[in-house]
């Protein structure tokens, strides 16, 4: 399932939009900043860091839209301080940094960027699974350190044919499954409810899923229910030969439990793109050869970041022209 | 049959499970442990009936000539470029290799290399471990899904690569000695044409006189500054100095290499580049697959000495 990239129309004809104030929460994409600036009056929250509340007092009434991301979205405090906020357009598919209840209460529209990033995130999941199983970064470093001259690299573990368990079979989970199938991996999954149109084996309990797969991939949305969905019990079920891949949110995993399991050898390995306190992460992991750590790069390709930015812009343009939102959340 | 009297020469260390299993069945002679090889071979010339080699050292003309009782060469590899096939045939020596059991691993490695080069996961892993993430974000990289993949050699491993790549919605083109009409992928009659029409070029054909340096300057130029070369074949498939200068000068977008012309030496100019991934010939380097390869070598030797048909002869 893929979405055509949405072409962005210049809004030279619509000068009304240039008076609309859009708050951008943090630096996320220079291209997006530039495109927003040609259309709207952009206020960059990170340039007013001296006193968030002072800034809000002076500008809050003008702001009609917020563009946020996975780092900083629109929480209750922000929404309450922007009385004329009409739309939140997130530069992400994840909505965990947006207070959706508050938006609903106030009739604020919310959009995100589904589909355009599905492929990149699914590619990352497979990439991490391969990188951990086959020890690719470690062996690349082995060569660069000049160690190959002194002896062969050790053996890694095969990826093809390993059983893959996916937590969350949404767009991304399904895209991961499709790729893993090409490696002859039997697929099973856990989600809130069984999905009707799939042959993959369903587990209503995530511990059972973990006990019955060799590679567990977290690809569900972060909600109150899924916070720490990967806990000690799940890690123990996955076991000393199991591999955890987290491309969801850091808060999906009980991080201290994960770290001790890896250090003690109770978990076979991990490939992580997300952490509980980004950009901080447990430094005890740095010395481990059975982990691969990447800095939340799931959708950070030139192609996808542009497509995401274009989608944010298109949603805002549609909204302020009174047209249908392209990718509304609610 | 008193098989413990059958001398089996092993050319270099390759797998301890294989060594153990050979020792149980035969008189194992480890060529790499002796200082004077010719003297050693001369001393054992009448007892060596089998040679077990790999992609580093196997059975060249000189070795074959030195072993008049040699009956079988069993390679711990699928490639047989280190075996003098003509000489083996001339002397009626059987030759076996290890196809199929390593197909998945090598194909997996091709995909792994593509993802590591395009998405720079090795680099961003280093970025995190060096503490740089606290100071800024990593750069944007390149999407893999949907890119055009060109495969040189559509044998077992090439087909396995194609199957995986299809799941990433990549259009596939290929070059091989002859077109395969039953294959749905697009055939190109020259490697240069394939390179010109690919974003990612994967080398996975056997190494022969014809395919030596099949990746030359012309092909590299056709692949271009945004193109990526993945070599999971043999180092000699690529004109290495040309490849290095193309990468250093930015005329080629990136490379994922598991093989090199003079392993274990790797051109050090590549070490500082963030658009290359360099692996120490680990295409089949998993516990599972090396065990399967070892078992296949043993099985071929066993059937040979039982005068039964070889399981995986080189055809």
Q: Is B303 on the interface with A (CB under 8 A)?
A: no
For residue A20, what pLDDT is reported? 95
- A112 φ/ψ angles, rounded to the nearest 5 degrees: -135, -170
CA distance B305 to chain A (A): 31
* Whole-angstrom distance, CA of residue A207 vs CA of residue A193: 15
Q: Say if residues B251 and B225 touch (Cβ distance below 8 Å).
A: yes
Q: Determine whether A279 is exposed, middle or buried from the number of CB atoms within 10 Å of its CB (0-12, 13-18, 19+).
A: middle
* Whole-angstrom distance, CA of residue A94 vs CA of residue A247: 11
Instruction: Select from A142, A157, A184 the Cβ nearest to the Cβ of B287.
Output: A157
Mean pLDDT, chain A, whole residue set? 93
For residue A130, which of B6, B16, B118, B305 has the smallest C-alpha distance? B118
Instruction: Select from B104, B137, B167 the Cβ nearest to the Cβ of A181.
Output: B167
For residue A57, what pLDDT is reported? 76
Cβ <8 Å between B104 and A160: yes
| pLDDT tens, residue by residue, A164-203 | 999 999 999 999 999 999 999 999 999 999 999 999 999 9
Q: How many CB pairs under 8 A join A and B?
A: 163
For residue A15, what pLDDT is reported? 60
* Whole-angstrom distance, CA of residue A31 vs CA of residue A306: 7
| Contacts of A157 by beta carbon, 8 Å cutoff, 6+ apart | A133, A134, B286, B287, B288
Task: Please name the residues between 96 and 135 in chain A that touch chain B, using a CB distance below 8 Å.
Answer: 119-120, 122-124, 126-128, 130-131, 133-134
For residue A48, what pLDDT is reported? 83
- The question of whether A296 is a catalytic residue gets the answer yes
Q: Mutate one of B101, B270, B280, B281 to test the A interface: name it (highest A CB count within 10 A).
A: B280
* Both structure tokens of B48: 């060596």
Mean pLDDT, chain B, whole residue set? 96
Cβ <8 Å between A301 and B140: yes
- A166 φ/ψ angles, rounded to the nearest 5 degrees: -115, 130
For residue A219, which of A189, A194, A243 has the smallest C-alpha distance? A189
- Determine what percent of chain A is predicted with pLDDT higher than 90: 89
Q: Which residues of A touch B289 (CB under 8 A)?
A: 158
SS (H, E, C) A88-99: EEECCCCCCCEC
Cβ <8 Å between A155 and B142: no
Nearest CA in chain A to B113: A136
Q: Which residues of B are catalytic?
A: 234, 263, 281
Helix and strand element counts for chain A (H, E): 11, 12
Q: Say if residues B92 and B68 touch (Cβ distance below 8 Å).
A: no
Distance from CA of residue A220 to its chain's centroid? 10
ipTM, 2 dp = 0.95
For residue A7, what pLDDT is reported? 47
Please give the average per-residue pLDDT across A111-116, as a whole number. 96
| pLDDT tens, residue by residue, B195-250 | 999 999 999 999 999 999 999 999 999 999 999 999 999 999 999 999 999 999 99
Cβ <8 Å between B124 and A179: no
| pLDDT tens, residue by residue, B276-315 | 999 999 999 999 999 999 999 999 999 999 999 999 999 7
CA distance B111 to chain A (A): 8
| pLDDT tens, residue by residue, A214-259 | 999 999 999 999 999 999 999 999 999 999 999 999 999 999 999 9
For residue A258, which of A247, A270, A249 has the smallest C-alpha distance? A270
For residue B41, which of B11, B20, B66, B60 has the smallest C-alpha distance? B66
Nearest CA in chain A to B143: A301
Res B1 pLDDT > 60: no
For residue B5, what pLDDT is reported? 86
For residue A159, what pLDDT is reported? 98
Can you list the positions of beta strands (E) in chain B? 7-10, 27-30, 48-53, 72-75, 94-96, 149-152, 172-175, 186-187, 200-203, 228-231, 254-257, 276-278
Query: For chain B, how far is it from start to end, CA to CA, in angstroms?
Result: 28
pTM, 2 dp: 0.93
CA distance B216 to chain A (A): 24
Q: Is A302 on the interface with B (CB under 8 A)?
A: yes
Look-up of token digits 């001790």: A260
CA distance B63 to chain A (A): 24
> Which residue in A33, A276, A278, A289 is the catalytic one?
A278
Question: pLDDT band at A272, cuts 50/70/90?
Answer: very high
Q: Mutate one of A69, A122, A300 to test the B interface: name it (highest B CB count within 10 A).
A: A300
DSSP class of residue B49? E
| pLDDT tens, residue by residue, B58-111 | 999 999 999 999 999 999 999 999 999 999 999 999 999 999 999 999 999 999
C-beta atoms surrounding B184 within 10 Å: 8
For residue A229, what pLDDT is reported? 98
């Amino acid at each position: 399932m893929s979405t055509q990239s949405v072409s962005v129309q210049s809004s030279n004809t619509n000068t009304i939009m240039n008076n609309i104030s859009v708050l951008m929460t943090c630096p996320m994409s220079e291209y997006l900043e530039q495109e927003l600036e040609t259309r709207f009056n952009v206020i960059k929250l990170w340039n007013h860091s001296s006193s968030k509340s002072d800034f809000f007092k002076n500008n809050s009434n003008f702001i009609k839209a917020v563009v946020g991301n996975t780092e900083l979205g629109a929480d209750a405090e922000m929404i309450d301080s922007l009385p004329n906020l009409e739309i939140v357009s997130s530069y992400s598919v994840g909505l965990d940094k947006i207070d959706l209840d508050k938006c609903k209460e106030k009739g604020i529209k919310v959009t995100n960027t589904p589909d355009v990033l599905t492929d990149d995130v699914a590619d990352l999941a497979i990439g991490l699974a391969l990188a951990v199983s086959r020890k690719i970064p470690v062996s690349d470093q082995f060569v660069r350190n000049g160690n190959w001259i002194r002896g062969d690299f050790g053996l890694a573990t095969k990826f093809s044919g390993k059983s893959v368990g996916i937590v969350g079979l949404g767009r991304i989970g399904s895209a991961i499954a499709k790729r893993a199938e090409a490696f002859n991996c039997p697929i099973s999954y856990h989600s809130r409810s069984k999905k009707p149109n799939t042959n993959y084996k369903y587990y209503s309990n995530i511990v059972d899923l973990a006990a019955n797969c060799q590679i567990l991939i977290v690809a569900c949305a972060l909600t109150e229910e899924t916070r720490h969905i990967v806990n000690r019990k799940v890690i123990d079920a996955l076991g000393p030969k199991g591999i955890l891949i987290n491309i969801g949110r850091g808060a999906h995993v009980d991080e201290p439990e994960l770290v001790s399991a890896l250090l003690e050898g109770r978990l076979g390995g991990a490939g992580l793109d997300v952490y509980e306190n980004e950009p901080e992460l447990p430094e005890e992991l740095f010395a481990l050869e059975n982990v691969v750590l990447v800095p939340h790069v799931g959708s950070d390709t030139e192609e996808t970041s542009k497509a995401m930015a274009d989608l944010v812009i298109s949603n805002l343009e549609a909204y302020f022209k009174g047209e249908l939102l392209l990718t509304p959340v609610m | 049959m008193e098989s413990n009297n059958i001398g089996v020469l092993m050319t270099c260390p390759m797998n301890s499970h294989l060594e153990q299993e050979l020792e149980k069945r035969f008189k194992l002679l480890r060529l790499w442990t002796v200082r004077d090889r010719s003297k050693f071979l001369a001393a054992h010339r009448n007892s060596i009936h089998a040679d077990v080699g790999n992609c580093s050292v196997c059975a060249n003309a000189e070795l074959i000539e030195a072993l008049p009782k040699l009956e079988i060469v069993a390679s711990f590899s699928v490639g047989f470029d280190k075996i003098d096939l003509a000489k083996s045939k001339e002397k009626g020596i059987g030759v076996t290799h290890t196809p199929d059991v390593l197909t998945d691993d090598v194909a997996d490695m091709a995909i792994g290399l593509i993802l590591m080069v395009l998405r720079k996961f090795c680099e961003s892993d280093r970025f995190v471990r060096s503490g740089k993430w606290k100071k800024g974000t990593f750069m944007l990289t390149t999407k893999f899904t949907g890119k055009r993949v060109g495969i040189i050699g559509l044998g077992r491993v090439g087909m396995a690569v194609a199957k995986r790549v299809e799941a990433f919605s990549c259009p596939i083109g290929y070059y091989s000695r002859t077109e395969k009409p039953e294959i749905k992928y697009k055939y190109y009659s020259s490697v240069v044409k394939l390179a010109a029409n690919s974003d990612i070029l994967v080398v996975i054909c056997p190494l022969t006189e014809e395919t030596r340096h099949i990746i030359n300057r012309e092909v590299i130029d056709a692949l271009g500054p945004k193109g990526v070369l993945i070599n999971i074949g043999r180092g000699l498939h690529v004109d290495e100095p040309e490849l290095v200068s193309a990468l250093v000068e930015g005329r080629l977008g990136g490379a994922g290499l598991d093989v090199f012309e003079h392993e274990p030496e790797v051109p050090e100019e590549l070490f500082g580049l963030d658009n290359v991934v360099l692996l120490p010939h680990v295409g089949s380097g998993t516990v599972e697959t090396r065990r399967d390869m070892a078992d296949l070598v043993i099985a071929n030797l066993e059937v040979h000495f039982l005068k039964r048909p070889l399981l995986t002869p080189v055809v």
